[in-house]
Amino acid sequence: DGGITQSPKYLFRKEGQNVTLSCEQNLNHDAMYWYRQDPGQGLRLIYYSQIVNDFQKGDIAEGYSVSREKKESFPLTVTSAQKNPTAFYLCASISRERNSPLHFGNGTRLTVT
Amino acid sequence: AQSVAQPEDQVNVAEGNPLTVKCTYSVSGNPYLFWYVQYPNRGLQFLLKYITGDNLVKGSYGFEAEFNKSQTSFHLKKPSALVSDSALYFCAVRDPGAGSYQLTFGKGTKLSVIP
C-alpha cells in the first residue's frame, strides 16, 4: 500500500542537541511538506519542497532545516536554535493534480527536555 | 492571502443527533476546500473536498459538507453522530489561482459525541 512513513513515532532529546525526523513516501508525489502541530494552534507550515533539490521556507522555518535529495525522502532537522521544539510534527505530500488532497504521515512526537 | 476560520474550539453532541462543524474561508478567487479528521497521536485523514459543481459534497464515514459562496462557508455535517466520530476536525483552503499547492488550515474543532 502506498503511503507516508514517519519515524520514529516518539523521540526524546536533551536541549541543545540537533535531531532529525524521517519522512518517506512511496506515492510518487512531487511535493512534500512539514507541519508543526501544537495544541489549539492548528497546523503551521515549516518547510515545503515541490521538486527534488529545491525547498522553500514556510511560516515558521527558524530553527529548522530540510533536504530533498530524493523524491521519496524529505527529512527535517530540528536544530538547537529552535527555542521551543517540543511538538507533534507532521509530514505530508501531494500529487501534481491541483484538486488532490494532501496525504499525511502519522506524525512524530518530539519531546525536548 | 488565503485564510480559514473555525469559530468553535469544541462541539459537543449527543449520539444519534445531527452534528455540524463550522468553517468559513477567505480567498481571492474560487476556493478548493477540504475537511480532514485527526484521531489522537495520528496524522490527518482526508474526509471530503469541494472543487466545483454541486454545493453539497459527500465524503467518507457518512460526512457531508455544504459549500455556500455568498456566506464563504463550508460547514461539515452528519445526520446522526457516532461516538467513534469524536476527534479533531480541520478545515483547509487552497486558492488554485495563486499557483500554489499549499493548503491553509483552520485551528481545528474538537468534536465530542456523548453516549
Q: Does residue B101 register a pLDDT over 90? A: no
Write the pLDDT tens digit of every residue in A29-80.
999 999 999 987 889 999 999 999 999 999 999 999 999 999 999 999 999 9
Q: Does residue B52 register a pLDDT over 80? A: yes
Selected residue of B101, B105, B107 to mutate for chain A interface (largest A Cβ count, 10 A): B101
Of A97, A70, A84, the residue nearest A15 (C-alpha): A84
The pLDDT value recorded for residue A40 is 79
The pLDDT value recorded for residue A1 is 60
Q: Is A2 on the interface with B (CB under 8 A)?
A: no
Mean of all residue pLDDT scores within chain A: 93
Instruction: Collect all residues with Cβ–Cβ distance below 8 Å to B78 and sequence separation of at least 6.
Output: B18, B19, B61, B62, B63, B64, B85
Interchain CB distance below 8 Å, B90 and A4: no
The pLDDT value recorded for residue B99 is 62
The pLDDT value recorded for residue A46 is 96
Q: How far is B2 from chain A (nearest CA, A)?
A: 13
Write the pLDDT tens digit of every residue in B77-95.
999 999 999 999 999 998 8
For residues A6 and A24, give the distance between their C-alpha atoms in angstroms, rounded to a whole number. 7
Burial class (CB in 10 A: 0-12, 13-18, 19+), B91: buried
The pLDDT value recorded for residue A100 is 84
CB A71 within 8 A of CB A54: no
Write the pLDDT tens digit of every residue in B7-43.
999 999 999 999 999 999 998 888 999 999 999 889 9
Q: How far is A57 from chain B (nearest CA, A)?
A: 12
Question: Which residue type occupies A109?
Answer: R
Among A42, A106, A109, whose Cβ lies nearest the Cβ of B105? A42
Q: Which residues of A touch B90 (CB under 8 A)?
A: 42-43
How many of the other CB atoms lie within 10 Å of CB of A2?
9
Interchain CB distance below 8 Å, A45 and B107: no
Interchain CB distance below 8 Å, B43 and A42: no
For residues B73 and B68, give the distance between their C-alpha atoms in angstroms, rounded to a whole number. 5
Q: Does residue A97 register a pLDDT over 90? A: no
